[in-house]
Amino acid sequence: MQNYEKKIAAIMTRNRMTLGVVESATGGLISHRITSISGASEFFLGSVTAYSNDVKLKVIGVQVETLARHGAVSGPVAEQMAAGGLRLLGADICLADTGIAGPAGGTAEKPVGLVYIAIADRNAARNRHFVFSGTREQNKHAFAEAALGWLAECLETLDRGHNGG
């Protein structure tokens, strides 16, 4: 397991950026990992664990039509979760996830181990999906690792752009 949290903390602090998180499938694990870093209060504003569809709709602002058309575990819903978290928390960047940790809940189209991760900033929201094949606990850890890894990758690109490297 990489220590993406330290990389994220360093880049966000250096660039005076703030982070928010909206979690579903990881149930707070991403936020736990970020807040395990000393100095996280310099950049981490907070998180919402939007586990139920009602919270996704009423608190985060996912659109009813998007949820109905694509389902809770989808790229469009993940993007709306990230964009909603960005607005709600007032962050520069918001990371969101939605997935099926298992062991139940999977279908042929959306198997157990599927996760959609989204990152939103003031310009856009984008998503990626991954499929893992572990126990519920292993999948949750894999989801968090994938989310933090992608965020670190995005921040490294941004950091190079800001610092000419």
DSSP letters of 78-137? HHHHHHHHHHHHT-SEEEEEEE--SSS---SSS-TTEEEEEEE-SS-EEEEEEE--S-HH
pTM: 0.95
> Which region holds residue 105: left if phi is over 0, alpha if psi is between -120 and 50, else beta?
left
Looking at residue 163, its pLDDT comes to 60
Selection from 67, 59, 11, 63 nearest residue 34 by Cα: 11
pLDDT attached to residue 28: 98
How are beta strands 114-120 and 125-131 bridged, if at all? antiparallel
pLDDT at 162: 65
Q: Which domain holds residue 146?
A: 4-163
Tens place of pLDDT for every residue, the chain, 165 residues? 569 999 999 999 999 999 999 999 999 999 999 999 999 999 999 999 999 999 999 999 999 999 999 999 999 999 999 999 999 999 999 999 999 999 999 999 999 999 999 999 999 999 999 999 999 999 999 999 999 999 999 999 877 766 654
CATH number for the domain spanning 138: value is 3.90.950.20
State how many domains the chain has: 1
Q: Which residues contact 68 (CB under 8 A, 6 or more apart)?
A: none
Q: Cα(71)–Cα(47) distance, rounded to whole angstroms?
A: 22
pLDDT at 165: 47
